[in-house]
Structure 1
């Protein structure tokens, strides 16, 4: 192949290597412009096939046409397509076509005969699209040129597969598999926007919980129960008006009206929807009906958080169910209780480090194939003087609001590293990794990477023995600072893992440019593995993503043998969770590291 063609392929590969769903169309257009110039043709286009609907969709073209919408070339069904375009449905080899009329719509300047090089995008045996280069008049295409275009088409096919996987992962991460409604993660993101300062309010959440759905499942079977759920989802979608509707799992739904909705209007809507959902549904020859309990909570942007609003609605629906069901309950007094709790936490948090009320527990990370203990995650706990044992969720948010998160984080890191160093000095855990969670406040603080390196040096911990865990949301809060900090941590020999992976998707396009060593699959995807096909689809996509980027993969929240076996079957071996071990004290962790492994026969839990 001539050197010039090799350079074209290399240039295209360089442009396409970093493409994601957001940039694919724009970069594809740039590549087409370069191909049009290099091969001396008048126009070029890239189309993707949708075999489910037997159509071809325009992805990019050069030069761009000016067309009033709708563009007739945007989506073309093969049954209605120009004969030449219809060939793209199953084309397998590059081909050159000559015609007396101009190529339809792709070259407004071509008024005479044209020559078109058609090159298919192939995904296995399936033609997933086509590249077309159009020359007004005659043009001879050499075998070397067509081979070069075939190589470029292969690069476009790889981009197409990568973009599809990213879009599929995004869809699965936001939608419920059974009903097609949004899921909890999408609902949380929606409420975060609705409750942001300056947004219109009030914002209302209606929490629906069917009464005694188990009777339907027990009598007619779970398939019938699923069909019943789908019918109710359709009725909610039709009757709710403009709203965000989410299924949280099982028989729980949340409706958030798009318009600002006060208490009275929300209560009226709840009663109307309660009536709609109580109508009979024909299932397998039976007329099935269930009553529904509804909890209503009203929040104000800039004052109430997403978690507050959903918790209040959940508390209201629990009250409805506990008082007999088939009721609408409006949340009223839990806000003051929550405020009291927060004030209590803030009052005692100021002196928590000095009083010694903080301590660490360790959660082992295990290779489920062998039971070998690979790592341990340091988890901070607080023995509150009146409220008992508190997990970080109860106080880290308060710590951040009063500028104590940095101090707490430093205490956790130093304490964990000191204990880890002691275990290593005693001859145990030398091939294990210590994992420590990092808050957003720590990550963006000046000199953070250097302070971590100093702690590792102080306790003589070797490179690669400490891994810091950051959440997806932290990564994208300040990507420029994050990228610099992670690079410095990498230089210092500190591993980095993205925790709770899969709960968002904005970090996907950043993985290739960040020095990340591991992904941890969020426990919300792992908990119901084996029972929820939507969770399995997401987990499989994350496993494939980790393999593609050469990253370690750890599953969080493994609590059932079914989940463990499902993960193993699909190639995820590293895991944490109560099935393998609960969080344990430091001396117990040292003993476990000395023993080196836990039982993984899954015949009665860990040894």
Structure 2
């Protein structure tokens, strides 16, 4: 019989109707035992009793609260025959209530699976009826079939439950979430449909400190808290790890969705006791809306994921709602991810160079190579638009090698023409390159190929790269120093490095982060920071360069503090190689800083 949980009641009812006719009885019923609730649950009956408008007392009969007949049937494994005689008087009232008859006789045949009673098949006849041994054996065979059907359907339901639920928390899983959202987003359903993409902040730290068992307990507790405090109709799904998606049952606009997401974030942030410790984690939440009939499930979840990334990039423990600006940003990222690999090979990448000068004289002392991408539809893209994507998609190494090779090749051409003889070429290095086992060897091959001495090249690394893998960074930088290659820490002062890092690494210079330099003359705090960095660099015998010089006030302040080397829009913007040659030929860039005590910086 092709029966599942949704069709079992109707199919059983049809079978009961045939049995009523075949055995010439007035009423038949099928009940299953719910072990978890310790109750007998009515599955099907024939003929159907008329609805009374009141809750049916016989729909669910709890063994602890039910008449003695149900109590006896809970553990019965053999048929029980009830006759309208005094010895069965205790059971007559219940049977009469069930069938709406006067004196009755009944046969109750247990459903038995692996010697365990799992329900009962019952037949009622008004008046007295004798059941022959043959009929009882037939009923036992029929009950056995019902027991098999019950066991199969229960097993299928268990498998379906496992397939649709997370095994750690019992919440819905990704498959269940997708089915639910497909239904919610069907045309004609009420909307907008909100989706909240949640990610716990710094759960790894909790796992590292208390162990993964405590981490699992933490997630289980939060899952229970969500179930107990949200609308029972809300979809709550765990996608794995510390990621959850909540789809509220109630339609809501962006304002209401943001408010609801904020409440959920605060709910998650309440403290939990695990492993004997009272702990809490923040949560980042991305919010997106879908319109039934217009938006796909994939679109809603992708937008919520993008909003989540935005919330996390803003420091975490916050809520972000997907916007058109986010859409444009992530469309660009998708475009970049699809086309960047081809750009490395097809010649659409190019380098611009930004001069670095001595502010006192205007002399060009270095050139920083900055990669650009001439995108076929988006025009010229700065590195910020695609370098991060390259690092996230394992293209950073390939892109970095292209930059180093192309910059050194161009630098060698200038040297052969008598240009840039006293100039250093600066090249930015990604974290992926710095920890690559063959990076030193690759760098050595490029220098040898183009005939460049290592001291003419300065590789720039950012502060956070230094602390990601200090041990590996030390090995790489020492290998570079053996070739004479200079090392500079870029964006210095943003809070990652410490004195110990500067002492541990063979660094030649630091470049003050442009954020501090740009506010010189307007911020006493930034002035104090820049002054400290210049003093720190001097105490370690390091060169110091000011980035982002855009005003004469900033340039004069740097000189007054003892920082003489700088780059920025006040001096020159990044430019193609042919434009740089004019400055290299002159050797200087004209500046008009009116420095105290020296007059104007000399013109070339």
| Residues 1:77 and 2:62 aligned together | yes
Q: How many residues align?
A: 331
Q: Distance in 2 between matches of 1:231 and 1:107?
A: 44
Q: Secondary structure at the match of 1:104?
A: helix
Q: Distance in 1 between matches of 2:284 and 2:334?
A: 29
Among residues 91, 99, 124, which one is paired with 1:134 in the alignment?
124
Q: Secondary structure at the match of 1:316?
A: helix
Task: State how 1:342-361 maps to structure 2 within 5 Å.
Answer: none
Among residues 73, 76, 92, which one is paired with 1:91 in the alignment?
76
Contact 1:240 1:255 in 2 (8 A): no
| Residues 1:39 and 2:39 aligned together | no
Tell me the equivalent position of 2:186.
Answer: 196
CA deviation map 1:97-129 (0-9, x unaligned): 2234355356545312x3221211111021011
Q: Distance in 2 between matches of 1:76 and 1:260?
A: 38
Tell me the equivalent position of 2:311.
Answer: 320
**Gapped regions of structure 2 (runs ≥ 5):** 337-375, 378-604
Task: State how 1:329-368 maps to structure 2 within 5 Å.
Answer: 329-332=320-323, 333-336=325-328
CA deviation map 1:528-584 (0-9, x unaligned): xxxxxxxxxxxxxxxxxxxxxxxxxxxxxxxxxxxxxxxxxxxxxxxxxxxxxxxxx
Q: Secondary structure at the match of 2:64?
A: helix
Q: Distance in 1 between matches of 2:217 and 2:57?
A: 38
Q: Distance in 2 between matches of 1:187 and 1:178?
A: 16
Q: Distance in 2 between matches of 1:74 and 1:335?
A: 53
Q: Secondary structure at the match of 1:36?
A: helix
Contact 2:96 2:102 in 1 (8 A): no
| Residues 1:144 and 2:137 aligned together | no
Cα gap change, 1:107 to 1:232, in 2 (>3 Å): closer
| Alpha-carbon offset, residue 311 of structure 1 | 1.0
Q: Secondary structure at the match of 1:169?
A: helix
Tell me the equivalent position of 1:294.
Answer: 285
| Alpha-carbon offset, residue 19 of structure 1 | 2.0
Cα gap change, 1:107 to 1:275, in 2 (>3 Å): closer
Cα gap change, 1:80 to 1:237, in 2 (>3 Å): closer
Among residues 205, 218, 243, which one is paired with 1:215 in the alignment?
205
Cα gap change, 1:46 to 1:293, in 2 (>3 Å): same
| Residues 1:227 and 2:217 aligned together | yes
Q: Distance in 1 between matches of 2:152 and 2:54?
A: 29
Cα gap change, 1:105 to 1:340, in 2 (>3 Å): farther
Cα gap change, 1:340 to 1:287, in 2 (>3 Å): closer
| Alpha-carbon offset, residue 48 of structure 1 | 0.6
| Alpha-carbon offset, residue 252 of structure 1 | 1.0
Q: Secondary structure at the match of 2:153?
A: helix
Q: Secondary structure at the match of 2:49?
A: coil
**Gapped regions of structure 1 (runs ≥ 5):** 1-16, 345-384, 387-607
Cα gap change, 1:198 to 1:43, in 2 (>3 Å): closer
Among residues 150, 153, 156, which one is paired with 2:146 in the alignment?
156
Q: Distance in 2 between matches of 1:340 and 1:105?
A: 74
Contact 1:45 1:106 in 2 (8 A): no
Cα gap change, 1:52 to 1:240, in 2 (>3 Å): closer
Q: Secondary structure at the match of 2:125?
A: strand
Contact 1:48 1:56 in 2 (8 A): yes
Among residues 21, 41, 65, which one is paired with 1:57 in the alignment?
41
Cα gap change, 1:302 to 1:44, in 2 (>3 Å): closer
Q: Secondary structure at the match of 1:180?
A: coil
Q: Secondary structure at the match of 2:163?
A: helix
| Alpha-carbon offset, residue 131 of structure 1 | 0.8
CA deviation map 1:199-236 (0-9, x unaligned): 33322211110011112222222222122112222333
Tell me the equivalent position of 2:253.
Answer: 262
Q: Secondary structure at the match of 1:80?
A: coil
Contact 1:43 1:106 in 2 (8 A): no
Cα gap change, 1:139 to 1:243, in 2 (>3 Å): closer
Contact 2:171 2:238 in 1 (8 A): yes
TM-score, normalised by the number of residues in structure 2: 0.51
| Residues 1:25 and 2:9 aligned together | yes
Cα gap change, 1:260 to 1:166, in 2 (>3 Å): same
| Residues 1:278 and 2:269 aligned together | yes
Q: Distance in 2 between matches of 1:218 and 1:324?
A: 21
Cα gap change, 1:276 to 1:108, in 2 (>3 Å): closer
Contact 2:307 2:326 in 1 (8 A): no
Q: Distance in 2 between matches of 1:338 and 1:317?
A: 12
Q: Distance in 1 between matches of 2:229 and 2:140?
A: 52
